[in-house]
Amino acid sequence: MSEPVATEAVHFHVDSMPALARLTFDPDRDSALTRAITAVLEAPLPAPTVPVATQAGGALLIWQGPHDFLIETPGALLPALEQAGAGKSALVGDAGAGLVSFTLSGSGVAARLDHDRPGSGLCSRVTRFAALRVTAVWRDETVRLYVDRSHAAYVRQWLLDRWDAVEMPAS
Amino acid sequence: MLRIDCPWCGPRDEDEFVNGGDAHIDRPEPPEQVSPEDWAAYLFFHTNPKGVLAERWVHSFGCRRWFHALRDTVSHRILATYRPDAPRPDGVA
Amino acid sequence: MSGFRLPRGGDGIDRSQPLTFRYNGRTLQGFAGDTLASALLANGVSIVGRGFKYHRPRGVIGTGFAETNALVQLGEGAALTPNMPATLVPLREGLVASSPTGWPSTRFDLGRLNDRLAALLSAGFYYKTFIWPNWHWFEPFIRRAAGFGTAPALPDPDRYEARERHADVLVIGGGPAGLAAAEAAHAAGAKVLLVEADTRLSGPLPPGVEALTRTTALGYYDANFVTAVEEIDTGALRQRLWKLRAAQVVIATGAFERPMLFANNDLPGVMLASAVQTYIARYGVAPGKAVLFATAEDAAYAAAFAAQEAGLAVRAIVDLRPAPPLAEQARARGIPVHAGSHVCAARGWSRVRGAVIDGPDGAQRIGCDLIAVSGGWSPAVQLFSQSGGRTRHDPALGGFVPDKAAQPTHVCGLAAGLRDLDEAVASGRARWLAAARGDAPTAPLPLAGPPAPPLPPGDNPKRVFVDLQTDVTLADLEQATRENYRSVEHVKRYTVWGMGVDQGRLSSTNGVAALAQLRGDDPAALGTTKYRPPFAPVAIAALAADRPNGALFRPWQLLPAHDWHVAQGAVFEDFGHLRPSHYPPAGESMGAAARREALAVRGNVGIMDSSSFGKIELKGPEAGRFLDLISLGRPSTIPVGRARYNLLCDELGVLLDDGVIARLADDHFLLNASSGHAARVRGWIEDWHQCQWPLDLVTRDVTEEWAVLTVAGPKARDVVRAAGCALPPASADFPHLSVAEATLDGHRVRIQRVSFTGELSYEIAIAAPQAGMLADRLWEAGQAFGMVPFGLEALDILRIEKGFIHVGTDTDGATIPADIGWGKPGQREGDYLGKRSLLHPSASKTGRRQLVGLEPLERQEPLPVGAHVVGGSPHPSQGFVTSSCFSPTLDRAIALGLLADGRQRHGEMVDIWSEGRAFRARVVAPRFLDPEGARLHV
């Protein structure tokens, strides 16, 4: 009736310098700033109902809060956003410097995290994991957790001990 | 374990949030004109209703936004959550 | 009673799989499918425990959760598990169990002497007896005589895990009603999860429904949150904690049969009638040879007929009802039926030998070795009650039934008070349809069931047991009533009725009925005590399954340059981050290392990791104004490229944190928070910005993105330049408290000239992934200047020498800025957090504890932190030592402290006391070295 323990494998690999930008601004305060930023992004901002969106150039926009956004593989967006935010109430920076990415896969992932998953396919959620605040991005059967750099060693140990997870070489 | 409906993120387990005490306690200002009684009331003297309480929560493990909730202190049932700049939904002043 | 295995039968056991186990040192046999209890009965074990107080012998009374007596200790050593009801332990090969009570053995227990002392051991005896001359004398004996077993002394060696599951409908209970509800819910399109504590369901699992067997629902909490524990029992995993959330919960937990109240109703051989039937049918065990049935309803007759068919001699059926409908059928089978009669007493010393009954034909004694009682059925309302639901007393049922649900909870089947199987199934379906429509939980369906038996007049209330597990008798309830305990909650705590491992499952309703009768009250008026989780005993490790033990208990953090510190031989201490406390070469003590490192910083240069300090960026046209509102100073007046020491207070004016604010641009600030308060300051800023002053700025915590290494000492500038970081040649162009961007090897760095050591000092920030590279660069460059790494112990010495405080160490929950020498209260114009409190007279009164320095008379002996300055009145303590060290630079011990009116008392000698030791010290200004700060401005 209950899944046998042995078949629920979880694999993970760690990337310590993910290409990520962060953007902090209030989209409702300064419409000119909002226009400038959405022009750079060439996409509408993600929102709680659509927390993750693939942007025209291939970057992934992730909602972290009404004023907080994460951008996966920003490429040239990062300097363009810095420029758009110059002199304004906007902060742009390299989030990858402060985060580590854990990519989880295997049949055990769904069994343990499905209750948290906001939908099928590509979706994201900022949530509590191993007593920490993490940003999770689901793609089909894998999930990527962005964890604060200082906590990465703890999360790695946690996965090995608590989930019997198997670590794979970094991608 | 309460289930709390963050106005931005939707329903989440209580352990994603931190409680911030009573809501709608207006800060008296400017300081030079505030009587000691009013300042003491602001700091210390809050109602402790058996029934619906308006209180503050912050979604620490999510969007990190503050919001308000109406919670029944007897049944623990959360009747409503609303943004900090929104009026109290039950119309109580 | 002496049980035995029947030659045939037992649909739950597999006679082709014999198992061997040990109980109280004896090796015994059983079969796969047995519980430990059924196997013990099959082996003729009649005494399985001793009562809590009187140490009377006890035998198995029921099955499943309905067992109060057969508590065992399982296993040995680290795997020792106490408090297990033997009826819930599946038998396995090699199982080791013992009964926890009885010395020298359960069968022959000297503790039985307590039975003679019953008068001294009545309810609440420990408030009244064994007090004079000193209750401590009696305590060890009482403690040893009471209790149900030994707690394990070794850590739990097993693995546990936690899982979460959300469902549309959670059905608790896999009996007929639960299965019907699950099937109906699934047919209506719901995602259904069913949990059942037993190893099997009562019927086939409806397709599409997920079920967890061996899963006991333990607690029903807010918002339909239910916890359950699943027995896994493989080597890899012992139990799994389920955290379940469902839109609708269906409770189909059945009912507990009630024992009957008569004298000596605790003897081995008195069992629940349904349990006798189950042992025969499921386990192929006869609990005795000659059985008397005592009942007031029809179900027990089926048990009597089954017993007869299995070969037991059914001596009689004693029925409270004057005209039992099934009496003719029983008599036709040769079973005497005594209508309108009841059992007065059981007879026997260590087990049942007979029963005394009374009725229209007068009193008579009937020989038997098993008395099967059925005092009615009490719906299992524990989980419903935990959910906040209210119950009501049903006189027809003689028990409490669910009445008003507090959450989306539906109760069906026996748990709702229904008796008939068809009705139970129908109620399961009806319940689900109601739930599927989203109906509010309705009143339960109409009840059926015979009248409950009235309390028979006991012939010795001291021997009529209401709660078998806690040895609470009718006499105890009488005493509680006489002493005017009115509420059932008070009676419970006074008599300990219902406080055993079984949580009153078999004693709750009988106790309420007895109290009602004693008082001439209606049981409905008394109600039951509130049921609380857990429903059944659970290992603490299972409840803690999602909170890891040991090293993973709390998330720890590493500094970005952690590996570099390890290579340098750092000894780490856990401050949330693992931070180097000192770097001892082999054999050096911590104190010696700290002093050596501190001297090196004062004389040459040192390198320290400052990455754990909080870094919060604030940007926008109103960033300065916002900072002014939350700060004691005026950050909006900091020039671009400069930094300033800043204080944050709460609304009481109490110091929250200190730190440096650097101005990166007109609209861009960087706030540095102390490591210990970084998270709190971040939350503080977000709170006031979001809720009180939503000004035009944004804030972001960037602590994780930057690694910061501090180079401190007279040679610091030389080192930074040698590392390839271009600083302006003249100190005046980059004075103390400045900030600038620079590059190092093509990497962007930010340099703050800020000092916590009192020496020339540069904090160099680089993107965290480059921490190791920066450390290597600075270290290489620093070798020519005698650079050493220094840790928190050395830093403590250096900052104490300068009188630089730690908020939270040198300040407490009452310390305001003026107490540490920062301005007059309320001096600054404009509103800011805490200002109104600082304008209050209490902020300026005399007697406030103020920051001082202390020089102990004994130059070589540091004062203990926390030592009190004593003497004077009204209060014997005038203050205390907050930080203390031996200063190698000054070659003497020094300390900081908070002392009443300290600033007026410089030069005074004071007495200091700590844990029996006395000291003398001189009060001085809190700055021992370079008070003008000349060394900062080189």
- C801 domain residue, yes or no: no
Provide mean pLDDT across the span C334-344.
94
Provide mean pLDDT across the span C731-746.
90
For residue B66, give how far its alpha carbon lies from the nearest alpha carbon of chain A (Å): 11
Q: If pLDDT is split at 50, 70 and 90, which confidence band does C122 have?
A: confident
Q: Complex ipTM above 0.85?
A: yes
Please tell me the least confidently modeled range out of C183-187, C470-474, C725-729. C725-729
- Beta strand A11-15 pairing with A99-105: antiparallel
Q: If pLDDT is split at 50, 70 and 90, which confidence band does C715 have?
A: very high
| C223–B66 C-beta distance less than 8 A | no
Neighbours of chain C (3+ CB pairs under 8 A): A, B
- Other CB atoms within 10 A of residue C636 CB: 17
Q: Is the pLDDT of residue C717 over 70?
A: yes
| A66–B65 C-beta distance less than 8 A | yes
- C597 domain residue, yes or no: no
pLDDT of residue C97: 95
Q: Is the pLDDT of residue B61 over 90?
A: yes
For residue A55, give how far its alpha carbon lies from the nearest alpha carbon of chain C (Å): 24
pLDDT of residue C145: 66
pLDDT of residue C575: 93
Rounded CA-CA distance C553/C550 in Å is 5
What's the number of domains chain A is made of? Answer: 2
Provide mean pLDDT across the span A104-109.
93
Give C276-331 pLDDT, tens digit per residue: 999 999 999 999 999 999 998 888 999 999 999 999 999 999 999 999 999 999 99
pLDDT of residue C453: 47
- Chain A hits for B12, Cβ within 8 Å: 127
Task: List the CATH number of the domain containing C315.
Answer: 3.50.50.60
> Does A92 share its domain with A103?
no
pLDDT of residue C852: 98
Where is the domain boundary, A43, A69, A97?
A97
> Does C234 share its domain with C285?
no
Where is the domain boundary, C461, C495, C526?
C526
Give the chain C residue whose CA is nearest to the CA of A163.
C161
Q: Is the pLDDT of residue C449 over 50?
A: no
The dihedral sign for the CA sequence C668, C672, C673, C675: positive
CB contact B31 to C (< 8 Å): yes
**Cβ pair C283, C33 in contact under 8 A:** yes
Rounded to 5°, angle at Cα C322 from C316 and C327: 45
Task: List the CATH number of the domain containing B25.
Answer: 3.30.2270.10
**For C550, which DSSP code?**
G
Give C585-637 pLDDT, tens digit per residue: 999 999 999 999 999 999 999 999 999 999 999 999 999 999 999 999 999 99
What's the number of domains chain B is made of? Answer: 1
Please tell me the least confidently modeled range out of A95-109, B29-43, C525-539. C525-539
Give the chain B residue whose CA is nearest to the CA of A51.
B9
pLDDT of residue B2: 96
- B9 domain residue, yes or no: yes
- Other CB atoms within 10 A of residue C21 CB: 22
Nearest to C221 among B1, B58, B75 (CB): B1
Rounded CA-CA distance C931/C933 in Å is 5
Q: If pLDDT is split at 50, 70 and 90, which confidence band does B22 have?
A: very high
**Burial (CB count within 10 angstroms: exposed 0-12, middle 13-18, buried 19+), residue C8:** exposed
> Does A105 share its domain with A136?
yes
Provide mean pLDDT across the span C876-886.
96
Provide mean pLDDT across the span B57-85.
96
Alpha helices in C648-713 (DSSP H): 678-687
Domain encompassing residue B7: 3-82
- Collapsed DSSP state (helix, strand, coil) of residue A124: strand
Give C430-444 pLDDT, tens digit per residue: 655 554 444 444 433
Give C359-396 pLDDT, tens digit per residue: 998 899 999 999 999 998 899 999 999 999 999 998 88
Q: Is the pLDDT of residue C132 over 50?
A: yes
Give C302-313 pLDDT, tens digit per residue: 999 999 999 999
Domain encompassing residue A130: 9-16+98-167
Give the chain B residue whose CA is nearest to the CA of A49.
B9
Domain encompassing residue C234: 160-256+379-436
Nearest to A126 among B13, B15, B63 (CB): B63
Give C190-233 pLDDT, tens digit per residue: 999 999 999 999 999 999 999 999 999 999 999 999 999 999 98
**Cβ pair C241, C229 in contact under 8 A:** yes
| B9–A126 C-beta distance less than 8 A | yes
> Does C71 share its domain with C192?
no
Give A42-79 pLDDT, tens digit per residue: 999 999 888 888 887 889 999 999 999 999 999 999 99
> Does C763 share its domain with C833?
yes
Q: Is the pLDDT of residue A120 over 90?
A: no
Give C76-108 pLDDT, tens digit per residue: 888 888 888 999 999 999 999 998 876 666 667
- C706 domain residue, yes or no: yes
CB contact B37 to C (< 8 Å): no
Q: What is the mean pLDDT of chain C?
A: 91
Task: List the CATH number of the domain containing C875.
Answer: 2.40.30.110
Provide mean pLDDT across the span C722-748.
87
pLDDT of residue C491: 95
Nearest to C687 among B42, B66, B85 (CB): B66
> Does C80 share its domain with C16?
yes
Give the chain C residue whose CA is nearest to the CA of A4.
C232
Residue C254 CB contacts under 8 Å (≥ 6 apart), including other chains? C173, C175, C379, C380, C413, C414, C415
**Cβ pair A8, A108 in contact under 8 A:** yes
Q: Is the pLDDT of residue C903 over 80?
A: yes
Where is the domain boundary, A38, A64, A97?
A97
Enumerate long-range contacts of C873-878, CB under 8 Å, 24 or more apart. Answer: C878/C910
- Chain C hits for B32, Cβ within 8 Å: 839
> Does C296 share its domain with C410?
no
Give C817-856 pLDDT, tens digit per residue: 999 999 776 578 899 999 999 999 999 999 999 999 999 9
Task: List the CATH number of the domain containing A107.
Answer: 3.30.1360.120
Task: Provide the percentage of residues in chain C whose pLDDT is more than 90.
Answer: 76
